[in-house]
Amino acid sequence: MEQRIGSSSQPLEGAGFDPAFIPGLTSPVTAEPEETKAAADVDDSDDRDDVQDAVVEAGAAETPAEEEPDEPSDGPVFEASDRRARITADARGVRLRLDEEECEFRWDEIGAIETEAPRFGKRFTITVHTPDRRWYPIEVEATARARFKEWESALDEVLDAYFEEGDEEAEAGQAREA
C-alpha cells in the first residue's frame, strides 16, 4: 500500500480562483525560447524600423471609434460627485462611476431613475432602473444637505429634456384601438 504525504487533491482551476478564466480558451502563451530571441537580435536595423513603422500605423488605425470627445451639449447637464462616486446625465445618457468601475446607459436603456434623500446624513442616492428589472444605485456624499434640492431640480431638468417615459407608446396604442 502506498501512502502519500500532503494533500491528494489537485489544484482547482476556474472562475472561482481566476477571474479572467473563460472555459474553452487556451492558456496564455509561455515566454519565447531563447533561440528565437537570439534570432530576433540578429535582424537588420532596417527591418526593425519597418516593423516599428508598421506597428505605429496599425496602432493609429486601431484607435477606438467609440471614444468621442466630450462635446458640450446645448441641453441641460446634471453632474454630482464626491471623492469616490460620480454621476453624469446629459444628452448621451447617464454615466455612473464608483472608484475605477464605470457604467454608461443610453436613454433608451433606462426604465426609470429614482432619487432618495435620507432623513439624516448627507448621502444622496440615485438609482438607475433598466427595463429588464435590474437596478444600479450610486450614493454621492453632499457637502451640505441643501445640495439635495439643487441636485434633484437639476436632475429633473435633464430627465424632462431627454427621458421619454413611453407616453408616445401609450398614445399610439390608444390611437390604434380607436
Of the candidates 102, 100, 101, 97, the residue with the CA atom closest to the CA atom of residue 82: 97
pLDDT at 173 over 70: no
Of the candidates 79, 103, 86, 81, the residue with the CA atom closest to the CA atom of residue 155: 79
Lookup: cell for 69: 470627445
Query: Which ranges in 14-94 belong to alpha helices (H)?
Result: 34-42, 45-61
Distance CA 52, CA 68 (A): 27
140 CB-contact burial (10 Å; exposed 0-12 / middle 13-18 / buried 19+):
buried
Give the residue-averaged pLDDT of 113-139. Answer: 92
Q: How far separated are the first and last CA of the chain, in Å rounded? A: 87
Q: What is the dihedral of CA 101, 64, 18, 99, to 10 degrees?
A: -10
Q: What's the whole-model pTM score?
A: 0.54
pLDDT band at 164 (very low <50, low <70, confident <90, very high): confident
Determine the pLDDT at residue 178: 46
pLDDT at 96 over 90: yes
Q: Across all residues in the chain, what is the average pLDDT?
A: 74
pLDDT band at 75 (very low <50, low <70, confident <90, very high): confident
